[in-house]
Amino acid sequence: MLMRLAATRRAFGGSVSRASDSTEAELIAVLVALICLPTSVSLRIVTDSDALIKESRTRLSLPRGAVREVVRTHNAVLLDAFVFLRSLRLKRGATVVFAKVAAHTSHDDCFSCGNRAADAFAKSRALNNAAAPKITYP
């Protein structure tokens, strides 16, 4: 996860040992950002996960109080948490938006570099090597 607050960039590494798929792991990373940053701070969540963006938008489009089973996903509880945490920010005048970044590119912008670093970290965790990769960007 790469967080940038104003002109400051901070990188945080972590892993989810029991995530059933990459969408669940990315959703947990989003929830960590929503919990850790002040509710007055707007977030632009840059991800290469089409599934994360689609599931989040689908859940947000449901009427208030809709039955969770309408969203046919095992991430329903996490998506409910996302909706709740997002609503706290909206009440404070902040925003939460998703932005799509192309996966597996050789671009030098901070988002592409962060995406490569996240992929490398996930691969190292899969190989039981906990060393976090170095994140570099211009």
The helix/strand/coil state of 87 is: helix
Alpha helical stretches, state H, 2-109? 22-36, 50-61, 76-91
Strands of 57-133 (E only): list them: 96-100
> When comparing pLDDT for 24 and 16, which is higher?
24
pLDDT digits (tens, 9 = 90+) for 39-55: 898 888 888 888 888 88
pLDDT digits (tens, 9 = 90+) for 88-133: 999 999 999 888 887 777 888 777 777 777 777 666 666 654 555 4
What is the structure's pLDDT at 8? 60
80 backbone φψ class: left, alpha, beta (φ>0; ψ -120 to 50): alpha
